[in-house]
Amino acid sequence: MDTACLEHCLTEAERNQFERDGFVVVDNALPASMVEGLIEAVDSVKPGVDFIGKADRFLELVDWHRTLPKVWGILGWNIHLYHTHITVTPPVPLEDRPTKKRLHWHQDSGRVSLDIETIPAPRISVKVGYFLTDVSEGGRGNFSVLPGSHLTDEVEYPADGVSNPPDALEVRVPAGTAVIFDRRIWHAGGWNFSDITRKVLFVGYSLRWFHPRDEMSVSHYIDRCDPIQRQLLGSKTGNLGLTTPKNEDVPLREWIREHLGEEAVADRSVRNLT
């Protein structure tokens, strides 16, 4: 794995912000040349889920050095991809624009929060959203969040039935920015009233014992991947390796230990399921 990862580990300020707000913005996560290549790849496939295996350009995102260290800083080393999806949001025609309509606020992972008894439910997973088009202005289909809502399982909506919660924040960032967010944070995609098409790639990481949502159609990559990429793409020695992993199941653990020391792989120091 690229040792440039060591320059992008989760900072204490980022950790504090993530724990408080449920998300953190990573400026300049992708260089302009990479953004251009990813847009070409997005344009060559159909929007939807399980995109990693659909174009070679996507593979680089699996262990991208500017974001993966922040993901393992939040979830720890026992992680893999569980879900990826492409979101393409074209402009809404003028005649179809709603005068007032509430966004579709939701948490990720469906029944997880409903089936687990604790409130809030455990984190389990995070997503990295890579914004390929400029959404530094509002009204461009922006990703919106309710900061701090990852610590509650319910959201209070205005009584008028159409307004968004008063604390809603529209994330406005330029192309090449990444947003890492807790699956539990209440979030929504906005209306695109601009003249550009919004394009975003979402890469979801979870603890390895959490079953992938996608088919993970990546077998054609495995032979050319390094051990850490194979871990992230779901390789394992057996089902027991999900809960009692061997070194060969989780080479990321040994890489972190080698480069950052024993303290960095201790569960209590890198894994916080608030």
Q: Interhelix angle for 12-21 vs 68-75, to 10°? A: 60
Task: Annotate 211-239 with b (16+ C-beta within 10 A) or e (fewer).
Answer: ebbbebebeebeeebebbbbbbbbbbeee
In a domain, 55, yes or no: yes
Residue 232 CA, distance from chain mean position? 14
Which residues in the chain land under pLDDT 70? 267-274
Identity at 162, one-letter amino acid code: V
Domain count, the chain: 1
Q: Express each pLDDT in 32-84 by its tens digit.
A: 999 999 999 999 999 899 999 999 999 999 999 999 999 999 999 999 999 99
In a domain, 75, yes or no: yes
Among 259, 203, 264, 267, residue whose Cα is nearest residue 68: 203
H helix intervals, the chain: 12-21, 32-44, 56-59, 68-75, 112-115, 227-232, 240-243, 251-260, 267-270
Give residue 267's pLDDT.
66
Dihedral over Cα of 119, 15, 235, 183: its sign? positive
In a domain, 268, yes or no: no
What's the Cα-to-Cα distance from 55 to each of 59, 225, 232, 235, rounded to whole Å? Answer: 8, 15, 17, 20
In a domain, 52, yes or no: yes
* Domain at 61, CATH number: 2.60.120.620
E strand or H helix at 204, and its extent? strand 198-207
| Residue 115 DSSP symbol | H
Give residue 273's pLDDT.
36
DSSP letters, 255-269, are: HHHHHH-GGGG-HHH
Q: Which domain holds residue 102?
A: 3-261
In a domain, 271, yes or no: no
In a domain, 270, yes or no: no
CA distance 49 to 24: 23
In a domain, 273, yes or no: no
Length of the chain as a residue count: 274
Q: pTM of the full predicted structure?
A: 0.94
Give residue 239's pLDDT.
86
